[in-house]
Structure 1
Amino acid sequence: MSVMVFCTSQPLPNNTDSNLTVYESCKDLNEVLIWYLILQFINIFVGIPANFIVVWLIRKSKGDSSTSDMYIFHLAVLDILFCLIFPLELANILYLTNSGTWYVLRFFYGMKDTSPLLLSCICLDRYVAVVHPITFTKIKDRLHRRALVIVAWLLILSFSVAKSALGNVVDFDKIYMGIILVVFAFMVFCNIAILLALRHSGPGRDEMHPVKKRAFNLVLIILAIIVFNYFPPVALFPFQECFTRQVFKCYIHYIAFGLLNLSSSIQPVLYLSKAKLSWGLDCCQTSKSDMQSTEATENMSTTHIDL
């Protein structure tokens, strides 16, 4: 049996020639690097304003927010911080050869690497709301959610500091792969469980309440985007030994993390589109009893893209 090889979550300087920039070291294989930079530009012009709007909306509707909005708020803040480092990242790729900049970049890369911890909190919240609604009503207060947010941030910052200081240590990379594999499996499990619960909650196999059907379609989209954003590193990184060092450094890293980093734009855009749809639905509600009967399912439909 071949040995599974792990790698870092972001490209590291080429230690064989520290006088070369990242772009120069990948000059023969720079197509994917250019593609990666384009995706990062999208995060600057779409991700930052969209996440700021998400933060503003959640703060504005503080008294009438969903139970998972607390996690979404902190995730949006994390994505804003990550997107703001792009000017330094761009300078580092094209011009800088000083290894000191990597300490700063690795810290923010570490934050993005562990952002799925907040996503898993959202998934857990929605999973309990749909699959175990009675339990959900008993723990609907926000005390335990604040505790989860604090624990998540402590883990995120601890990992980021460790990555900044120890990012060049080969064995340290296994920690990241362990995190991404476990969290990815957990997110997929939660969303599939939600889909199955919604699918079998109607009076007949081919019948589903319109609100539940909208929620089902939304979670299906969420599951597809989770796979789109997070499956590439899960699928590619364990097979580092199958690629040459140059191909892995210049292609595989940027393919996987270009898609993963794009979640900083996709997540808030879907949340905002969902918020607009929910506003339209609220305007069309005419029956108070209908609203009460579908409250739990509508609450689930407020789930953010980052499930």
Structure 2
Amino acid sequence: MNSSSTSSHQNSSFSSSETPWNPCPSSPYGVMTFFTVEAVNIMFGLPVNAWTIWTISHSSRSIQASEVFPLNSALLEFVYISFSFLRPLNYFFIKSAFLYTFNLFFYGLLSAGRPLFQSCVCVERYLGVVHPITYLRYNSVRTRLCALPLVWALTLFFCVCHVVKLHLPFLVLFLLLLVLQGLCCVSVLQVLHQPSPGEGNEDQVDPAKKKAFVTVLLIQVMMVLNYLPTVLIVPLRGRLSRHTYLCQLIPASLSFSVFGSFIQPLMYLMRRRK
């Protein structure tokens, strides 16, 4: 009787020290790793995304159709990075449940908004290479502006899903976008192996088509590296110990998803030679 009461008292005291913003007070190494990755992401991502936004918005010419999705993607990344410092601030000092929920909402920008805009770029490159006539017909800023409300609405929907901790919609989104990007990548690669009209040598590849393939391939690699770890650990919930799952696997998978905010805008700046 005494031993059971002592055990229950120890369990209650352990659980009482846990909070939503600090679920692993006895094992902070996973969270510290995540904060380190976020610090690196802030250091590189904030200036690169800010420079991308400034370059597109302050260009001497009007915004091109191909710049609509990169601009919105850079805005999304910039907003997320700007608020990401609140997470360690709340973890160490503020310790607010409201701020924890606020951070959950903005993490939805990264987990849903980034792959959605990346997929828009992939479809754009796919149409430009595989269906050039269709691409030229709809290659306008107005066409992209019609798609933007849908992309942002889906992003906000997944932000809410993240707050209420619905994981299934993220799994479905990841799988659908992964298949979509894979089809775009394979289709562009098939076109690259076909000689263009008037070219007798298959080794001669249109530089624009080659750049499109590199862009689509890199986006797909980023998609897999960013979000596949999170998808893989979801089925392990309940099969591993709570400490292993919550204090080690979750911070590790989130570290993969956070990293890379600067890669796509950096690609744009390199194309513009900025």
TM-score by length of 2: 0.81
1:204/1:136 CA distance change after superposition, 3 Å: same
Q: Which segment drifts farther, 51-60 or 207-216?
A: 207-216
Aligned residue in 1 for 2:235: 238
Q: Which amino acid aligns with 1:48?
A: L
2:179 alignment partner AA = A
Q: Which runs of 5+ in 2 are unaligned?
A: 1-13
Counterparts of 2:201 and 2:238, CA distance in 1? 50
Q: Give deviations 1:45-90, integer Å, cap 9, x for gaps.
A: 2111110111111113374655331111111111111111222100
Instruction: State whether structure 2 residue 67 is matched by structure 1 residue 73.
Output: no
Any conservation in 1 of the 2:30–2:247 contact (CA below 8 Å)? yes
Residues 68 and 144, structure 2, Cα contact 8 Å, conserved in 1: yes
Q: Which residue of 2 aligns with 1:113?
A: 111
Alignment of 1:1-307 (within 5 A): 17=15, 19-20=17-18, 25=24, 27-28=26-27, 30-61=28-59, 63=61, 66-115=64-113, 116-164=115-163, 166-167=164-165, 172-201=166-195, 203-276=200-273
1:225 to partner: Cα distance: 2.8
- Separation in structure 2 between the aligned mates of residue 210 and residue 138 of structure 1, nearest angstrom: 22
Matches of 1:68 and 1:184, distance apart in 2: 22
Which residue type is aligned with residue 252 of structure 1?
L
Please tell me the residue identity of whatever aligns with 2:271.
K
| Structure 1 CA distance for aligned equivalents of residues 190 and 120 of structure 2 | 20
C-alpha displacement of 1:216: 4.0
Q: What CA deviation, in whole Å up to 9, does each residue of 1:247-287 have, x standing for no partner?
A: 121222222221221121222223222321xx7xxxxxxxx
Q: CA deviation at 1:123?
A: 1.4
Larger radius of gyration: 2
- Cα distance 1:193–1:253, how it changes in 2: closer, same or farther (>3 A)? farther
Structure 1 residue 93, shift from structure 2 partner: 2.8
Residues 143 and 127 from structure 1, CA distance in 2 versus in 1: closer, same or farther, beyond 3 angstroms?
Answer: same
* Matches of 1:144 and 1:214, distance apart in 2: 23
Per the TM alignment, residue 213 of structure 1 is displaced from its structure 2 partner at its CA by 4.2
> 1:255 and 1:185, CA in 2 relative to 1: closer, same or farther beyond 3 A?
farther
CA distance in 2, matches of 1:215, 1:127: 8
| SS in structure 2 at match of 1:151 | helix
CA 1:24–1:125 in structure 2 vs 1: closer, same or farther (change >3 Å)? closer
Contact 2:126/2:187 (<8 A) preserved: yes
- Kindly provide the amino acid, as one letter, of the partner of residue 117 in structure 1: L
Between 155-164 and 108-117, the greater mean CA deviation after superposition: 155-164
* 1:108/1:176 CA distance change after superposition, 3 Å: same
Alpha-carbon RMSD across the aligned residues, in angstroms, is 2.6
Distance 1:103 1:66 in 2: 37
1:229 is aligned with what amino acid?
N
In 2, Cα distance between equivalents of 1:190 and 1:47: 27
Q: Which stretches in structure 1 are left out of the alignment for 5+ residues? A: 1-15, 280-307
Identity of aligned residues (%): 25
CA deviation string 1:161-195 (max 9, x = no partner)? 4533x23xxxx221222222212222232223222
Distance of 2:185 and 2:66 partners within structure 1: 15
Contact 1:184 1:230 in 2 (8 A): no
Q: Take 1:134 and 1:53, find their aligned partners in 2: how far apart are those partners?
A: 33
**1:208 counterpart SS class:** coil
Give the counterpart letter for 2:228 in structure 1: F
Number of corresponding residues: 256
Q: What is the TM-score of this pair, normalised by structure 1?
A: 0.73
